[in-house]
A and B are shown apart, each in its own frame.
Chain A
Amino acid sequence: MPAPFILDRSSVTQVMAWVLMALLPGIWVYVWIFGPGILVTLSLATATALAAEAAMLKARGYPVKPFLTDLSAIVTAWLLALSLPSLAPWWLIVTGTLFAIVVAKHLYGGLGQNIFNPAMVGYAVLIVSFPVQMTQWAGPVALTETPLTLAQSASVIFGFDSTKATLDAVTMATPLDALRTGLLQQLTVDEIMTHSIFGHYGGLGFEWLAAAFLLGGLLLWALRIISWQVPLAFLAGIWLAAGFLHFFDAGRFGAPWFHLFAPSVMLGAFFIATDPVSGATTPRGKLIFGFGAGLLTIIIRTWGGYPDGVAFAILLMNLSVPLIDAWTQPRIYGEARKTREPPA
C-alpha cells in the first residue's frame, strides 16, 4: 500500500464516542427533570439498534465487529430515544429504532451512504403513524404530584401497567403542544404562556435540557468534531424566522427565545443537523443547510400539522444536500477569486 504510511489517531469510533459523551449532560438533566424513565428508553433503543445493526451487517455480508464497534448505531439509537416522548411505549421505541437502522441506514447502503438522518427518519415514521402515542411526555418532576420511579417508568413503557391511570397522572402537554392547542383555541400567546408548563424561555425544565444539549454541542465544537457553521446557522434561522413573525404579531407567534430553547432545537442543531453523512460538506453549504433547517422548523411549527418541525426540517434539508454541495463548491488554492463557476 503506498503513501502515506502514518495516520493521525482519529477513528470513526472515536468520533462517535465523543458524540455519545457530549450527550451525557443532556441525559443527566433529562433524568433530573423528567425522571429516570429515559434510561429505560435509551437502553431499549440501544439494544434494538445493536441487534438490528448486527443482523443487517450479517445479512449484507459485512464483517460485524468493525462496523458494530464504530458506535454509529448507538448514536442513532440515543438521538432517536432523546427525541421520543419520555413515556413512549416499548413497541414504539423498537419500531422507530428498527426503521432507523434497517431502512434508513442499511437499505440505503449502510454507514456513510444514508442520505437521510436515520434517527430523524425513525422519528418521522413514528409521528406520522402513531401521533397519539407520540404525545406521551411525562411532565417535569416539579409539576408532577407523584413522579415515577425507574421501575414504574419501565412498567409504563412495557405496558405492564394497563390501567392508564398512572400514565394519565404524569403525562402532560409539552410547551410546544400547549402553544399549538392554545393557538387553535384562539388564545393569544401571552394567555397561553401563563400555564405553569412555560418557564422563563422555553418551558419549565425544558429550557434546562436545552441548555445541557447546548453545552454538549459546544464541547463537540471545541473538539472540532462538528463545525460551527451548521449549529450557528440553524439557531440563527430559528431565531430570525421566529423573531420576524413575533415582531409582526406577538399575539399569534411565539417569542424567538421560546422557539430557540425547545430541547429539540438544541439537539437538532448540535447533534442531528451536524450528522456529517446526511449533511452538507462545504463551508457555505453548511451555512445554507443549517439556516434552511432552522427556517423550515419555524414554518412547520407555525403552519404545519405537527407541534414540532425539527425532524421534518432536517429531512427536507437532507434531501437538498447534493444540490447545495454542488452549488457551493469552495474556491480552491490558486483559483481566481471572482470568476468561479459552479461545477455542473
Chain B
Amino acid sequence: MSRTLHTFKGGVHPPGHKTESNSRPVHAALLPNKLVIPMRQHMGNPAKPTVKVGDRVLKGQLIGEADGYISAAVHASSSGIVTAIDLQQVPHVSGLPDLCITIETDGRDEWIDHGALDYQAMALSDLRMKLRDMGIAGLGGAVFPSAVKLDPGAHAIPTLIINGGECEPWITCDDVLMRTHAEEIMQGVAVMRHLLGSTEIIVGIEENKPEAIAAMKTAATRLDFTVEVVAVPAIYPGGGAKQMIETLTGKQVPSGKLSTDIGIQVFNVGTAHALARAVHHGEPLISRLVTVTGHVLRPQNIVALIGTPIHALIEIAGDRDGATGVLMGGPMMGVPMPGQDVPVIKATNCLLVKSKDLFPPLPRALPCIRCTRCADACPAELQPQELFRFAKANEFGRAQEYHLFDCIECGCCSYVCPSHIPLVDFYRYAKSEIWAREKDKRASDLARERHEFRQFRLEREKKEKAEKLAAKAQAKRAEITADPTASGAPDADAKKALIAAALARAQAKKADIIPRNTDHLAPDTRHVIEEIEARRAKIRELAHQPLETDEKKP
C-alpha cells in the first residue's frame, strides 16, 4: 500500500549532521546527587507542589499536581529528600529562575508502588485524568499536555498521525527511539487509538532514517490494527505538525484553528513511548531520551531523568575545550541555555554544544533588499520581509494583518536571508510585545471597570445616606410636632432641641465606646494598647491638619 505524498510550500535543506549521534548505543540513565525539577515544564498552568521541604519522596511519586485542565503533573525522578522548593534557574532563554523542587537523591532509586493500568476497562475520561496525573506531555517540543490532545471532544478524529519526522539537524533522539523501542511506541499508539477512536493511523518518518522506518514497519506488522509507516522526503521543517499533515494527507490546517478541526491529531513518537510506559507499567513521565551532540567527544543519545543538570549529560558525552555555549534543541529552533546547571526537562530533546568551528558567529546583518527568498522558503506561506518591516517599526497591528501569528518560528527565513537578518527574532519580539499589550489592556479594562463601579458605589452610598438622613429628620420632626410639651415651641426651638438630642446621643455613644475589657491586663498588653492609643492620637492630629492630598483632590 503506498500513499500519495503531497509537498508543502517552502522549506530548506540544511546539512543534517545526524550520523554523529545516532550510531552509538543508547547510554542508560545516570543518577545525579541532586535533581532540580521545575513545576513549569509544559504548556498551560504550572504544576502545584504537593510536598514539603524535608519530605522523603520515592521515584515516580507525585510532587506537583496538575493545576487545571491544561496542565500536567510532575513527579520525582528518583528517591530522596526534598531539600528545597524555591526559584531556580531553568532552561529558558531568559535565564530567569522559576519554581522548582530540589531533591537530594539517596542513591537507592526506590520506586513507588506502580503497575500497569487496565486501560481497556477504564472510562475514557478517567484514563485521560490518569494520564494528566502521570505528567504525560508532548515530547516533540511544544510539551502540550497529552490528556488534552487525547480528548476528541466534539470532533471525530478519524486520522491519527505519529510524527517521526525529526527534521531538525543534529537531533536523533526520535530516530534512535524508533530503532530501539518500536514495539513500545506502537503500544502507545494503540492507547491513543483507543482514546481517540481513530480509524486511519499513519506514521510519518523522514526518509533519511531507513533503520527507524524498517523497525517501525516490523513493529506495525505485529499489531491487530493497521498502521501505515510512510517515508516522507527529508526537508526542513517537514517534521512540523502542520507540514507533516500536509505531506501525508494533502490537507492544510485552517489558519487559527487546530488540526482536530479537520479530524487529525498528531503525536510525537516519544509521546507514544511515554504513554506506553505509563499505561503498561504505571510509570509517570520521569525520564526521556536526550541527544547530546555537537562539540563533544562522543555524541550520543542518553536516557536522562527529568531534573538532571545538563552538564552531567555533557560530561558523559565528553566535554571538549572551545565550547561556546549549549543549545536546547537543534540549530534551527534551539534555545541557548543560560548555563550548564539547568536541569533536563520534558522538552529537552537535544543538547547541542556549540563551538566556533561548528557554529561560526553569524555575519553582520545588512538591510533587507526585499529579494523574497524568505517568502519562497516560508512553510507558512507568509511574507517574512513585510512582517520584518512591521515588527522592526513596532507596527504590530500591521504585522498581525499580515498573519504574524501564523508564523511557526521555524527559522527558514533567517536561514536563507542573504542579508543575514535575524528575522525570527523580530517575529518573536513582535509576538511577545503583542501578548504583553493584550495583558496590559485586560488589566486596564479591569481597572476601569473597578473604578467605575467604585464611583457608582460611592454615589449610591451618598444617596442612600442622604435619603436616610432625610427620613430620620422627617420622623423626628413628626415626633416633636406630635409631642404636646414641645408643640408650642417655634421652629428655631425645634431645631435646637434636635441638636441637643443629637449631642446627647453622641455623648452616650462615646461613653459606650470606652473599652470594657481593659481591666486586669498584663502590663505589656497595656503598653501595647497605650502605643496604639498614641498612634491613634497622632492620626487624629493628622486628620485635623489639612492634608496634601486634600488639596490635590478636587
Contact = CB atoms under 8 A, between A and B. Distances in A.
Interface of A: 1-8, 10-12, 14-15, 66-67, 70, 72, 110-113, 224, 227, 276-277, 279, 281-282, 325, 329-336, 343-344
Identify which of A12, A72, A334 gathers the most chain B CB atoms within 10 Å of its CB: A334
A1 B403 CA distance: 24
Given A112-B419, A281-B386, A335-B255, 14 more contacts: A3-B336, A4-B411, A5-B331, A6-B15, A7-B415, A15-B369, A15-B371, A15-B418, A111-B366, A113-B367, A281-B375, A329-B383, A331-B381, A334-B253
A7 B360 CA distance: 10
B410 to A, nearest CB: 8
Interface stretch (B35-43, B140-148, B420-428): B420-428
Given A6-B169, A6-B359, A15-B371, A333 B383 contact: no
A344 B397 CA distance: 11
A333 B242 CA distance: 9
10 contacts: A1-B422, A1-B425, A3-B327, A5-B334, A5-B354, A10-B417, A11-B420, A110-B367, A334-B254, A335-B255
B420 A112 contact: no
A332 B422 contact: no
Contacts of A2: 93, 335-336, 422, 424-425, 428
| Secondary structure dominating the interface of B | loop
B362 A1 contact: yes
Nearest to A274: B371
B252 A333 contact: yes
B381 A3 contact: no
Given A325-B386, A334-B252, A334-B406, A5 B370 contact: no
Interface in B412-443: 414-420, 422, 424-425, 428
A53 B34 CA distance: 60
A111 B402 CA distance: 24
Contacts of B370: 112, 276-277, 279, 281
B366 A333 contact: no
Contact of B333 (A4, A12, A332): A4
A3 B331 contact: yes
B329 interface: yes
Size class of the contact patch on chain B: 35 or more
A51 to B, nearest CB: 21
Most B CB contacts (10 A, CB to CB) among A6, A110, A330 go to A6
B380 A4 contact: no
A194 to B, nearest CB: 46
Given A333-B380, A333-B381, A334-B254, A3 B372 contact: no
Contacts of A111: 366-367, 369
Question: What are the 9 closest A-B residue pairs judged by CB atoms, nearest first?
Answer: A112-B367, A4-B411, A334-B255, A343-B401, A10-B418, A276-B371, A333-B381, A5-B331, A4-B332
Contacts of A336: 254-255
B171 to A, nearest CB: 13
Interface in B10-41: 12, 14-15
Contacts of A5: 327, 331-332, 334, 354, 359, 362
**Secondary structure of the A side of the interface?**
loop
Interface in B488-512: none
Contacts of B242: 333-334
A6 B402 CA distance: 26
Interface in B135-154: none
B373 interface: yes
Contacts of B366: 12, 66-67, 70, 111-112
Contacts of A227: 372
Nearest to A6: B331
Contacts of B112: none
A66 to B, nearest CB: 6
Contacts of A12: 366, 369, 418-419
Nearest to A13: B418
Contact of B415 (A4, A67, A277, A325): A4
A111 B369 CA distance: 7
B369 A332 contact: no
A45 to B, nearest CB: 21
Contacts of B164: none
Given A4-B333, A334-B255, A329 B402 contact: yes
Nearest to A282: B383
A110 B368 CA distance: 11
B396 to A, nearest CB: 14
Contacts of A67: 366
B379 interface: yes
Interface in B341-389: 354, 359, 362-364, 366-373, 375-376, 379-383, 385-386
Given A276-B370, A281-B370, A4 B418 contact: no
B362 A7 contact: yes
Contact of A8 (B12, B425, B428): B12
Nearest to B403: A332
B485 to A, nearest CB: 82
B239 to A, nearest CB: 15
Interface in B239-290: 242, 252-257
B381 A332 contact: yes
Contacts of A112: 366-370, 419
A226 to B, nearest CB: 9
A1 B361 CA distance: 9
A173 B331 CA distance: 60
A282 B386 CA distance: 10
Contacts of A1: 362, 422, 425
Nearest to A326: B386
B52 interface: no
A3 B332 contact: yes
Given A332-B382, A334-B257, A3 B424 contact: yes
A12 B382 CA distance: 22
Given A1-B362, A110-B367, A333 B333 contact: no
A148 B420 CA distance: 46
B425 to A, nearest CB: 6
Contacts of A334: 242, 252-257, 406
B535 interface: no
B108 interface: no
Given A11-B363, A277-B370, A336-B254, A4 B403 contact: no
A333 B415 contact: no
Given A6-B14, A6-B331, A113-B367, A281 B373 contact: no
B364 A66 contact: yes
B379 A333 contact: yes
A158 B349 CA distance: 68
A281 B375 CA distance: 9
Contacts of A6: 14-15, 169, 331-332, 359, 415
A4 B383 contact: no
Nearest to B416: A8
Nearest to B402: A343
B9 interface: yes
Contacts of B14: 6, 8
A150 B278 CA distance: 84
Contacts of B422: 1-2
A279 to B, nearest CB: 8
Interface string B110-136: 000000000000000000000000000
Contacts of B411: 3-4
A6 B329 CA distance: 13
Contacts of B385: 281
A344 B395 CA distance: 14
A330 B378 CA distance: 12
